[in-house]
Amino acid sequence: MFVKIIFGIAFGVLSLILIIAGMPDYYQDDNVVGWIKLHKTPATFKDAYMTCYYEGAVLASPINDPLAATLERKRNMTDGVIWIGTHSLFSENDFISIEGVQVNDMPISISYETEPNENCLIMASAGQAQTSNCTRLLPFVCYRHRRDEPVNFKCGTFDNRYKYEPRTGSCYKLHHERQEWLRAQLICSSEGGYLAVVNDEEEAMILRNMSSRRALKISKYTDWEPLFIGIRDWDRKGIWTTVQGDSLDSVYHAWGWGQPDNLGGRQYCGSLLKNGLLDDTWCHVKTLFICEKDPCKARFTHPSTGNPIEPDFP
């Protein structure tokens, strides 16, 4: 059972990583006063919820007539069953959307199954929601309301914590919570980027300086703490590639003294040390990380015109 769960989680994470949709992936929809994105790759309710969250959106629910109509249109683009962001995980039989709307206040009807653990809602036919086990794998729709904090035009993302760096032409976001390497890459990917790929020494120093102790103010942060970056020994044979599939030889590859040493025989993920050099480290040890994003790849259409956004460089 445990192994099955672990495999399920690993598969879920990997399948989510593959969701690197064409850009832009969020389309302005005036009817719902915001942006909509259909995820056709199936996920559990929890992964769907988290994917939308990392994208800067919410798992969509039919909380009003326009959203119900949009969700119905999107449902018809799938095999016919999608998650909606409404569940009773906090309070049994009290179904409520992520935004806090009671299911009784939505323009839909709901049919309750009698099986235990049916805490999540699906749409399987027009105007009709149905309870379901939350571990099913289903497509889903993410929604971002236009009133949510202003979008980041310079970096082409919803997330204002991405900062444009003119010296490299990339945008970066230093995450202040530690994650396993795969999860870190999933988060960067959901944000429209990737775990930072260091192309040269200048970029290594920029990333290193971003994580200076004074800049971070993270509890229990130590001066020697490394940062996950987007390189990995996928095949565990000492052949390092970037998350974009390039050989490490073609980018910055100044290893720290004695590295890569594959300590304990299990160091397959890349990190940047405080001295700006590389180290191989444990993928499963939660570590701070930096996401990088191409500012030319705006992930949403313009809030006013609905057209793709041109990058707004300084």
Minimum CB separation of residue 195 from Ca ion in Å reads: 17
d(CA 143, CA 209): 35
| Cβ 16 vs Cβ 190: under 8 Å | yes
d(CA 22, CA 126): 28
Minimum CB separation of residue 218 from Ca ion in Å reads: 22
Q: Does 233 bind Ca ion (CB under 5 A)?
A: no
From 18-26, 40-48, 136-144, 279-287, span contacting Ca ion (CB under 5 A): 279-287
Minimum CB separation of residue 292 from Ca ion in Å reads: 22
Q: Which is nearer to Ca ion, 159 or 279 (CB)?
A: 279
Residues 6+ apart with CB under 8 A from 157: 56, 151, 171, 191, 192, 193, 293, 298, 299, 300
Any idea which residue has 């006063």 for tokens?
33
Minimum CB separation of residue 260 from Ca ion in Å reads: 6
Q: Does 201 bind Ca ion (CB under 5 A)?
A: no
| Cβ 278 vs Cβ 256: under 8 Å | yes
> Which amino acid appears at position 15 of this protein?
S
Q: Does 279 bind Ca ion (CB under 5 A)?
A: yes
Q: Which is nearer to Ca ion, 166 or 258 (CB)?
A: 258
Q: Which is nearer to Ca ion, 14 or 263 (CB)?
A: 263
- The helix or strand, by DSSP H or E, that contains position 227, with its residue range, turns out to be strand 227-232
Tell me the per-residue interface mask from 36 to 65 with Ca ion, x by CB under 5 A, - otherwise.
------------------------------
**Angle at CA of residue 119, ends 113 and 120, nearest 5°:** 95
Q: Which is nearer to Ca ion, 90 or 257 (CB)?
A: 257
Minimum CB separation of residue 263 from Ca ion in Å reads: 5
The footprint of Ca ion on residues 244-273 (CB under 5 A) is 259, 261, 263, 267
Q: Which of 47, 233, 280, 292 binds Ca ion (CB under 5 A)?
A: 280
Closest listed residue to residue 101, CA positions, set 68, 61, 130: 61
Q: Which is nearer to Ca ion, 51 or 287 (CB)?
A: 287
Residues 6+ apart with CB under 8 A from 308: 24, 298, 301, 302
Q: Which is nearer to Ca ion, 153 or 282 (CB)?
A: 282
| Residues near Ca ion, by CB under 5 A | 259, 261, 263, 267, 279-280
